[in-house]
Amino acid sequence: LSDEVALGPGAEFDTIRALLARWGARAIGVGDDAATLSVARGDQLVVSVDSAVERRHFRPEWSTPREIGYRAVVAALSDLAAMAAIPTGILLAITLPDAWRAKLDELADGIAEGADTVRAPIIGGNMSGGTELAITTTVLGSAFAPLRRGGARVGDSVYVTGVLGGPAAALRSLEAGHGVGAHHERLKFPCPRVHEARWLAERGATAAIDISDGFIADLRHVAAASRVTIDVVGASVPHVDEVTLNTALSGGEEYELIVTTARAFDVEEFRARFGLLLTQVGRVTDGERAEVTLDGARVANISGHDHFSR
């Protein structure tokens, strides 16, 4: 327990002290009404908030407390990656039902592991009672030139990181009662693509988004924000063998990145650096509407992933 953390008495504060003890040196500066953070001169502060709610975003029977804590943090960090920001701090607002109190240490460990993926300190938070577990994560980061959804231009190439469909395959296996299967890690412990995003931004990415709802659903946000048509070549999209292309294109919780660029990325250098595929999967064209087409046909029937609880 840090010297900085000197809270008055009270059950709520005992819970906070227990969390902080578990987090150790990962939690810094906690104990004031608010946290403080320096932003590098010239950089923009980048901030996002994301909630993981019991039965909406996770099922207790499918996820351990450690996985729930980890994924809550990583889902939020993935939004910073999409902006090519360097994470600098995390705040956690936890609604903790009494029934979950015995699991607090495991949740805390998962949260800490999520923070560790980017070495960001936990700088504040809030504890509340409630009837359903909810972890709302606020992530703060810093970027000189944040990547946005609206920067795609006609003629740009569209790339995606990684191999899609792993989380969907694992989820399908779970739903079928076969356990989580071969793509366990991709579903349970996804990595926020923070370093990959910085690499891409430094090499001319014009727009980016992370895949949380599904490749097509998220690409549509890019098309809408950039007011362009984006043509996807289905055969070029890398996906795992266990699922069809359509499943891979609609599955959520991927936390891979979609990026556009006017140049070509050196995909071999990317693969060597990160051990991850980077694949060109489409182009930005001068369509009449802001939309996504797949192999030339307008995509209307692939719905976005409705989170883990679907």
Q: Contacts with a copy of itself in 71-90 (CB under 8 A)?
A: 79-80, 82-83, 85, 89
Other residues' Cβ atoms within 10 Å of the Cβ of residue 300: 9
Bridging pattern class, strands 134-143 and 44-53: antiparallel
The answer to whether residue 14 forms part of the interface with a copy of itself (CB under 8 A) is: no
Cβ pair 160, 233 in contact under 8 A: no
The answer to whether residue 53 forms part of the interface with a copy of itself (CB under 8 A) is: yes
Among 124, 162, 190, 252, binds a copy of itself (CB under 8 A): 124
Of 183 and 193, which CB lies nearer to a copy of itself in the complex structure?
193
The answer to whether residue 2 forms part of the interface with a copy of itself (CB under 8 A) is: no
DSSP 304: P
Amino acid at 216: I
Q: How far apart are CA 242 and CA 223, in angstroms?
A: 29
Partners of 136 in beta bridges: 51, 93
Among 16, 139, 174, 187, binds a copy of itself (CB under 8 A): 139
Q: How far is the CB of 106 from a copy of itself (least distance, A)?
A: 21
Cβ pair 258, 209 in contact under 8 A: yes
The answer to whether residue 136 forms part of the interface with a copy of itself (CB under 8 A) is: yes
Among 14, 116, 132, 185, binds a copy of itself (CB under 8 A): 132
Q: How far apart are CA 292 and CA 187, in angstroms?
A: 26
Q: Beginning with the edge strand found earlier in the chain, give each strand of the sheet holding 291-294 in spatial order.
A: 205-210, 257-261, 157-161, 278-285, 229-232, 291-294, 297-298
Among 14, 32, 175, 269, binds a copy of itself (CB under 8 A): 32
Among 149, 188, 193, 239, binds a copy of itself (CB under 8 A): 149
Among 67, 156, 196, 213, binds a copy of itself (CB under 8 A): 213
Q: What would the x/- binding string for a copy of itself be over residues 173 to 212, using CB under 8 A?
A: -----------------------------------xxx--
Conformation bin of residue 246: beta by default, left when phi > 0, alpha when psi is -120 to 50: alpha
The answer to whether residue 134 forms part of the interface with a copy of itself (CB under 8 A) is: yes
Q: How many residues bind to a copy of itself according to rule CB under 8 A?
A: 73
Among 282, 148, 277, 140, which Cα is nearest to 205's?
148
Among 1, 37, 154, 233, binds a copy of itself (CB under 8 A): 37
Identify residues 234-273 at the interface with a copy of itself (CB under 8 A).
none
